[in-house]
Amino acid sequence: MTDIHDPTEMETRRKRLVYRSNYRGFKEADMILGGFAKANIDLMTDDEVLMFEDLLSAKDHDIYAWITQTLPVPANYDTPLLERLRAFKPFD
């Protein structure tokens, strides 16, 4: 069983999330999620890392639609982290 409070475990999760964010298979999602992960993963709390991990379990097109606000966001993904993701500008 993994201990999410173990610093080594969280570091591994962070690295895995940056990788997963960059290689989604949907170019627009790769750019937004990958850029956001690179810029923010080290600033995220452990709880935010877990929220981001949960978000990445959703389908790429759904995540993109939630970011662009073309689909309603399910309550479990409607978090301050998603708001930060919406505000992120990968090309600034």
Dihedral angle of Cα 18, 72, 88, 38, to the nearest 10 degrees: 0
Locate 87 and state its tokens: 């505000």
Long-range CB pairs of 27-31, under 8 A, 24+ apart, other chains included: 28/64, 29/60, 29/61, 29/63, 29/64, 31/90
* Extents of the domains making up the chain: 7-87
The per-residue pLDDT for range 37-79, each reduced to its tens digit, is 999 999 999 999 999 999 999 999 999 999 999 999 999 999 9
The per-residue pLDDT for range 11-46, each reduced to its tens digit, is 999 999 999 999 888 888 889 999 999 999 999 999
Q: Given the structure tokens 């969280």, which residue do they identify?
A: 10
Domain 7-87, CATH among 3.40.190.10, 1.20.144.10, 3.30.70.3280, 1.10.150.250:
1.10.150.250
| pTM of the model as a whole | 0.86
